[in-house]
Amino acid sequence: MDRSDGLNRLVLVVEDSEVDREAIDRALSRSHPELTLEFLADGNTVLDRLRGGARPALMFLDLSMPGTDGYAVLSAVRADPDFASLTIIVLTSSTTSADIDRCYAAGADSYIYKPVNFALFRTVLQGAVDYWYSQPNH
Amino acid sequence: MHPNRDNRWPDRLHSLWRSAFAAVNTRQFADELYTGLLALPGVHGILGVRYTAAGAAQVTRWADAGGLRTGPAGLSDEVSGLPAAFPLGELAHRPVTDLPGIATRIAACGADGLLVTAFEVSDGGLGLLGLATAGPPDDAVLVALTQAKEVVDAAERRIGEQREMEDQQAVDALLAEASLRMDASLDIADTLRAVLRLVVPALADGAAIHIQRDGRMVPIAAAHVNAQREELLVKHLGHVTGDPVATDEPHPSGLPAEVGLDTMTTGVLRARGRDVGLLTFFDRRDSGRQNSTKFLRDLAGRAALAIDNATLYEQRRADVLSLQQHLLPAVLPTVPGLELAAGYNAADHTLEVGGDFYGVVDRPGGEVVALVGDVCGRGAQAAALTGLARHTLETVLAEGGSPRHALGMLNQKMLDNRISRFLTIATATLTAGEGVLELEALSAGHPPPLVVRRDGAVEEAGCTGRLLGVLADLRLRGWRDRLRPGDLVILFSDGLIEARDAAGGFFGDVELARSLRELRSLPLPSLVDGLISGSDRYHVNDDVAVLAIRYLGPPLFDQVLPAADVADAVTAALRDLNPALRAGQLLVTGPTRVTITGDSTWARLGLHPDPNGGSVWTDLTA
């Protein structure tokens, strides 16, 4: 999907599970073959990567990771004014109100439930990407 | 040169057909297609465009000697006029002079014209495949492009079918998970909130649920793919009054533009002919989402059932608890010299009334009879027998009949009426003696009462007897003892001793006696609560009735005193009783009634500043 030329098609995915990284790669390659996906396997390197490389248009962030978890990454990224406008989509297997509120408070732009079924996962990711690329600043 | 010989087009075409039935996305297939077409003689560039139904370039690809690029800068604008230049379903060649938008790109790769085939693609869009050629294309190139278009058509159809199947799988999975959640929980509001999180953004940009409350639809949950706009959505949802209407087609949402959700589709949640709620999906304009209406209707149907079930459950549960309360005394009598407290735990896994009951009868002459009973089974029949039993026993006892007589009479009544259920019961009859309380305990198939001495020793009453409703002769063998001030009698039903801990151990085996020792100094309501909570270790999962009685001893001191005299009077009274009995600092601010009951080694000091209640007390031991 090439919505308009010159769009930033780089998407950063921070996900510790290899299985989930593969699923995200497979899902987004099918629904959005135009995207360039870059994966980080833990939260520790996110800030360095954001400061040192090409700026992604979107960042998918797994909430539950060993070491620096998604909440910590979210807080750290939002604490840097340079990344205040970076769209961050939290991926999680929780649908509890407390977790959602905590993520919103920490600065998540979207809270996305990570289903087990691959077809549903692809649809969820597609819905999120379609939405954010339809917004004027993407 | 003939492409079919020199560039192995037949081989490439054969390979393309195979790929067309294996590709999972167009990018994978495009690599092979564009490489093959670029190898045709006289072909210097390949153009691929996918337009939306609205005519916008959705995907653009360009391949030339520099390689294949998806969405190269500027190409979307360059191809905006091409659909008008190339008629659908035809193969047409145009010189670059006729294609000013893309002329520069074509010329840059060494070509001077564009051969194009335009065809329909899924979702009402348009596909366009073009070869940038130097000079007019020969027949072989025309044939090759026609063949390539047939392969693209087939691949497009197959990928489309695959996506359609996967979309259906996604919808089925979502419906299955939502149904599972709704079936597994009776906290319907929380469950529906979670279900909305499954729906957004898979099938909608936003979603909301209203539930019928007091004649209007009240929003209880909302979700928006954009966190910053979720609060706005909640703010503007509002209540819905009047008859809700389901909509099969998206229509304007009426929400302010700042919410970013332009259209909505609504399903009415209807169960047993009643509208119990609304489920609404919202989308931004041009979201491109389709076919969510059937899913919305399916989900609405299941949500309605879940709401209806939860509502019925709550109603039934409230009815059961209300009936249960009516089978128990509203308040225990106030008996001088006794502290009384009772507690009841209704099993939380059932919607039927339990048969446990308790009561205290203050008989003429100062005698008190306490009882705890347990009717076999649950439900309406058990409740009826519970009511009959408690009121029969209390009536006979209040009129002066002995507990033994009352139990015998109830037993005979049950046998005469051929009541198929049985019941067990324990009684404790308390009669004032010289500085002590005479206790007679009876048990008709029931756990005997426990006596907790003020030093912590726990004794089980040695009474036995047959349960009521089975045989005419109850064979009641009573047990007598004396209570000293500070001693306790505990009556309870078997649900208490059968409570289990995580390892499967029974509360009644060891821990009950230990808990009673530890809790014996607490006010009786706290002691009863502690027992019913299984001392926070044993899971009390059944109906349980507990009745606790503490003997406070005979009155030793009872005077209304000015605040300034209270401390001295208490000190003097206690010194006379036993110099080892000492009260701490006494804080009173006005005239206070001071009471002391007990004996020389255990006493209860009561301060009653307010004649209408509001007293405080402390137990003193020597």
pLDDT mean over A60-68 = 90
- Please identify among residues 47-76 of chain A the ones whose CB lies closer than 8 Å to any CB of chain B: none
- Is residue B242 pLDDT above 70, yes or no? no
- Mean pLDDT lowest among A134-138, B14-18, B19-23: B19-23
What are the DSSP calls for A86-132, one per residue?
A: -EEEEEES---HHHHHHHHHHT-SEEEE--SSHHHHHHHHHHHHHHH
Sign of CA dihedral B273, B276, B277, B279: negative
Q: Cα B74 to the chain's mean position, in Å?
A: 53
Please tell me the predicted confidence (pLDDT) of residue A71. Answer: 92
Q: Is A22 on the interface with B (CB under 8 A)?
A: no
- Asked if the B332-551 domain carries CATH number 3.30.1130.10, the reply is no
B483: left (phi over 0), alpha (psi -120 to 50) or beta: beta
Percent of chain B at pLDDT exceeding 90:
45
Q: What is the pLDDT of residues B564-620, one digit of tens each?
A: 999 999 999 999 999 998 888 888 888 999 999 999 999 999 998 876 767 889 999
Distance from CA of B264 to the nearest CA of A (A): 16
Tell me where in chain B the CATH 3.30.450.40 domain(s) lie.
3-163, 185-322
Token couple for B582: 């000492």
Inter-chain touch B225–A108, beta carbons under 8 Å: no
Percent of chain B at pLDDT exceeding 70:
95
pLDDT band at B2 (very low <50, low <70, confident <90, very high): very low
ipTM of the complex: 0.94
Gap between the Cα atoms of A74 and A58, Å rounded = 13
- Do residues A13 and A39 touch, judged by C-beta distance below 8 A? yes
Gap between the Cα atoms of A18 and A24, Å rounded = 10
Q: What is the pLDDT of residues B500-541, one digit of tens each?
A: 787 778 887 778 899 999 999 999 999 999 998 887 777 777
- Do residues B570 and B588 touch, judged by C-beta distance below 8 A? no
Omega within 30 of 0 (cis) for the link into B201: yes
Question: CB neighbours of B122 closer than 8 A, spacing ≥ 6?
Answer: B156, B157, B160
Among chain B, residues having any CB pair with chain A shorter than 8 Å are 24-28, 57-60, 70-77, 163, 166-167, 169-170, 173-174, 177, 190, 193-194, 197-198, 200-205, 225-228, 230, 284, 286-288
Q: What is the pLDDT of residues A95-129, one digit of tens each?
A: 888 888 899 999 999 999 888 889 899 999 999 99
Gap between the Cα atoms of B112 and B130, Å rounded = 13
- Is residue B16 pLDDT above 90, yes or no? no
C-alpha distance from residue B108 to each of B99, B317, B320, B516 (Å): 14, 79, 84, 95
Q: Is A19 on the interface with B (CB under 8 A)?
A: no
Residues on chain A touching B202 (C-beta within 8 angstroms): 120, 123-124, 127
Q: What is the pLDDT of residues B353-410, one digit of tens each?
A: 778 899 999 987 889 999 999 998 888 788 888 888 988 999 999 998 999 999 999 9
Please tell me the predicted confidence (pLDDT) of residue A3. Answer: 36
Query: Which of B25, B59, B163 has its CB closest to that of A2?
Result: B59
Q: For domain A10-134, give its CATH number from 3.40.50.150, 3.30.70.20, 3.40.605.10, 3.40.50.2300.
A: 3.40.50.2300
- Is residue B443 pLDDT above 90, yes or no? yes
Indicate the domain borders of chain A: 10-134
Please tell me the predicted confidence (pLDDT) of residue B449. Answer: 97
More confidently predicted of B454 and B540: B454
**Which of A8, A25, A30, A59 is most worth mutating to test chain B (most B CB atoms within 10 A of its CB)?**
A30
Nearest residue of A to residue B285 by CA position? Answer: A134
What are the DSSP calls for B100-112, one per residue?
A: TTTHHHHHHTT--
CATH of domain B185-322: 3.30.450.40
Report, at the CATH architecture level, how domain B3-163 is classified.
2-Layer Sandwich (3.30)
Nearest residue of B to residue A124 by CA position? Answer: B202
Distance from CA of B509 to the nearest CA of A (A): 40
> In the β-sheet with B555-561, what is the strand arrangement from edge to edge?
B555-561, B592-598, B602-608, B616-621
- Do residues A105 and A86 touch, judged by C-beta distance below 8 A? no
Burial, B510: exposed, middle or buried (Cβ in 10 Å; 0-12, 13-18, 19+)? exposed
Distance from CA of B179 to the nearest CA of A (A): 14
Q: What is the pLDDT of residues B220-234, one digit of tens each?
A: 899 999 999 999 998
Please tell me the predicted confidence (pLDDT) of residue B9. Answer: 83
pLDDT mean over A72-86 = 93
Token couple for A65: 């990771």
- Mean pLDDT lowest among B25-29, B97-101, B395-399: B25-29
Question: CB neighbours of B610 closer than 8 A, spacing ≥ 6?
Answer: none
- Is residue B117 pLDDT above 90, yes or no? yes
